[in-house]
Amino acid sequence: MNDTPNLLKKLMEYGESDFYPFHMPGHKRQYHGLFAADFPNPFSIDITEIHGFDNLHHPEGILKESMEWASRVYGSNRTYYLVNGSSSGILSAISGSVSRGGTILMSRNCHKSAFYGVFLNQLSVEYIYPQIIPEFGIQGGLIPEKIEEMLMSHGKIQAVFIVSPTYDGIVSDIKAIADVVHKFRLPLIVDEAHGAHFSFGRDGGFPVSALELGADVVIQSLHKTLPSFTQTAVMHVKEGYVDMGRLDRYVHMYQTSSPSYVLMAGIEGCIRYMAAEGQEQMKLFSGKIGEVRNTLSGMKHLRLLTVQEKGLNGIYDMDLSKIIVSTRGTGKSGSWLDDRLRKEFHLEMEMCGSDYVTAITTLADAQEGLERLYKALVQIDSGLSEENGCEDENRLYQGLERVPESRMTIAQAMDEPRRRIAIPDGEDLISAEFVYVYPPGIPIVVPGEVLKKESIDLIMKYKELGLAVQGMEDEESRELFVVDEAGINVR
């Protein structure tokens, strides 16, 4: 049948094209020069839990030894191999740290999997909001003093969950935050999914991992910024503020009962490579990124997010491997720049926001690819002019600071009777669904929150800009389920 879909064929054709990936996974489809060069035909090592190869859910042999070795590499008390991505680690950490129906303090810019953890455990949430970088309209860091204020005001909080670095490479002051959280005898969980390279990049000037700065649970996606297969991640745990037994139980609940030995071998191989020659490669990579940034800093209209922002807006440190380029003041949107880079230059970005694009670079990037990126951006910049677009830009920026009104928990809102309405008609109704732009998957609206005019306008503006507004059952993203409050009354 000629019309039968063939994903493998399409993947192979794309792999042979000249499209260059400035997105995950971190191996950048490179085979030679990394540990993967010694990786065999995956079918030849794709096995199940046969004799001599241990069981991830009850490790006693080679897998136990491998994870104990990894914990020594990282300096944790325990390191878990995650074959369901960072999401499984995030779900495990939340479930293992907060009792069912309890309360968690969470940064609002968490990945959607954190909100799923809240739903599954029927938790109440108190939010800590990141600062905003006004000139770019993106989220900055978290202020330790504000976290302390929240903990003093909300005595029922059982754990603190934050994201650092953000999708855009913004790092908060983890040591200060950990000190604050530990004053209240609580565990600090850090989603460091986008900072897996931090553990091996200190000599290259990259930020220090949260694991070294006092965090109790740290989740890292190896596949995002290191040479590892998609879906591979690790979770590091320090003893002291974490119920290790409870956390362990949940790890096995959220991981597949048929873990891939190909992925687990990939995790081990990636760590082995990074703990050896990978650290020297990180230093060389840092130099390459410095050259790219020096070139892009000369752009006249497009703007590069630089270290000049450090010390402002809660930014303690920055991951310079994330190339954030803003279109503000040019009259062009982030989706316009993303589209042009893809169609004209065959460069695929990780994501675009309303007025910026994010390119992920890693130690696996080829010099030729990096040159293509900065040459393309410089060429695009040369054809732009200054325009006044501040009104929409400021409105979107203000939307990021919005503090929502919640009338129900996430679990309550998702389980109540509901009805579907057009998004513009939702003002003052209670959302029964998530709404987010993906990537990065950070909610604009969470179930249980009241839809205000500002949030509705923000959603419609994102749609107008061509961003991927998702989370609703409606695939066209035109309609949204809200809580049927009349249905609650008659039930």
Residue 449 is given by DSSP the state B
Q: Which residues pair with 483 in a beta bridge?
A: 418
- Asked, as a colleague might, if the bond just before 165 is cis with ω within 30 of 0, I would say yes
Separation of alpha carbons 12 and 15, rounded Å: 5
CATH of the domain at 378: 3.90.1150.150
Q: Inform me whether the pLDDT recorded for 319 exceeds 70.
A: yes
- Number of domains forming the structure of the chain: 3
Q: In the structure, what pLDDT confidence band is assigned to residue 35 with cuts at 50, 70 and 90?
A: low
* Residues whose CB is less than 8 angstroms from the CB of residue 170 and which lie 6 or more positions away in sequence, other chains included: 130, 133, 138, 139, 140, 141, 164, 314, 315, 318, 319
Q: Inform me whether the pLDDT recorded for 140 exceeds 60.
A: yes
Q: What share of the chain is helix, strand, coil (3-state, %, to 5)?
A: 40, 20, 40
Q: Inform me whether the pLDDT recorded for 409 exceeds 70.
A: yes
Cα 404 to chain centroid, rounded: 22
Q: Inform me whether the pLDDT recorded for 323 exceeds 90.
A: yes
Is there a domain that residue 128 lies in? yes
Reported as a single tens digit per residue, the pLDDT across 87-133 is 999 999 999 999 999 999 999 999 999 999 999 999 999 999 999 89
Same-domain check for residues 325 and 228: no
The answer to whether the predicted template modeling score (pTM) of the entire model surpasses 0.85 is yes
Q: Inform me whether the pLDDT recorded for 36 exceeds 80.
A: no
Ranges assigned E (strand) in 353-484: 356-360, 418-422, 435-437, 442-445, 469-470, 479-483
Reported as a single tens digit per residue, the pLDDT across 60-71 is 999 999 999 999
Q: In the structure, what pLDDT confidence band is assigned to residue 134 with cuts at 50, 70 and 90?
A: confident
Q: What is the mean pLDDT of the chain?
A: 92
Is residue 286 within a helix (H) or strand (E), and if so which, with residue range?
helix 277-296
Same-domain check for residues 271 and 303: no
When computed from its CA atoms, the radius of gyration of the chain, rounded to whole angstroms, is: 23
Same-domain check for residues 260 and 313: no
Q: In the structure, what pLDDT confidence band is assigned to residue 391 with cuts at 50, 70 and 90?
A: very low
* DSSP SS3 for 456: helix
Domain span at residue 462 reads 402-490
Reported as a single tens digit per residue, the pLDDT across 165-213 is 999 999 999 999 999 999 999 999 999 999 999 999 999 999 999 999 9
Range with lowest mean pLDDT among 49-63, 185-199, 330-344, 448-462 = 448-462
Q: Answer yes or no: are the C-beta atoms of 351 and 358 closer than 8 Å.
A: yes
Separation of alpha carbons 162 and 190, rounded Å: 5
Q: Tell me which residue has tokens 């953000």.
A: 166
Same-domain check for residues 237 and 363: no
Q: Inform me whether the pLDDT recorded for 363 exceeds 90.
A: yes
More confident of the two residues 485 and 319: 319
Range with lowest mean pLDDT among 104-108, 322-326, 385-389 = 385-389
Is there a domain that residue 244 lies in? yes
Same-domain check for residues 207 and 133: yes
Q: Read out DSSP for 44-82?
A: GG---S-TTS--TTS--SHHHHHHHHHHHHHT-SEEEEE
Same-domain check for residues 241 and 303: no
- Structure token digits, residue 263: 């992925």
